[in-house]
Amino acid sequence: MARGKEITADKLEALGARRLAELLAELSAVDSVVCKAAKLALAAGQSPTKLLADIDKHIRTIARSKTFIDWDRRKPLVQELENLWTTATGTLVPVDGRAAAEWMVDFLNLSYDFCVVRLLANKYELLTVLNCPNVLLHTNGSKRDLRTQVIERKISSSTRSN
């Protein structure tokens, strides 16, 4: 980005609260992550109880979800989870540490439960390798097969084939 074109907190502050609110409303209409983050910020402004209720609602919704998340939808989910975590730890901990700690345990259990359920659902596929003794449990063989070519390439500083 060219010098002087960076977006800084001071430049945004100079826009004024009304203009920033309009920009945030526009972004919220297009970006679900921004929308959810704005809703959490609004709930935090009302009361810690409201914030905790909204965070719990998000977590319960995610926990009920059973669909597979494609790679292109992973990033917004990760951003939403990070927003939940930072909002809870940054806003809720100073006000109600006990509620924040209970929520953090629920949050961590969510990921643990998800992993265990997924492992159990796919255990036969994961353990198929044990029924096939000719299949290696590691990839060292394929790495070793390519190693001589890699060493030659490093020595010659070339990627051209001989």
Q: Count how many domains the chain has.
A: 1
Flag whether 4 is in a domain: no
Flag whether 92 is in a domain: yes
Flag whether 117 is in a domain: yes
Q: State residue 1's pLDDT score.
A: 46
Which of the pair, 128 or 15, is modelled with greater confidence? 15
Flag whether 83 is in a domain: yes
Domain residues for 73?
46-156
pLDDT tens for 72-85 read: 778 888 888 888 88
Average pLDDT for the chain: 79
3-class DSSP state of 70: coil
Can you say how many angstroms the Cα of residue 70 is from the centroid of all Cα atoms in its chain? 13
Output the pTM of the full model. 0.54
Q: 105 pLDDT exceeds 60?
A: yes
Flag whether 7 is in a domain: no
CA distance 63 to 109: 10
Burial 73-97 (b: 16+ CB within 10 A, else e): eeeeeebbbebbeebbeebbeeebe
Angle at 140 between CA 137 and CA 144, to 5 degrees: 150
pLDDT tens for 130-140 read: 777 676 666 66
Flag whether 151 is in a domain: yes
φ, ψ of residue 140 to 5 degrees: the values are: -60, -35
Q: 19 pLDDT exceeds 70?
A: yes
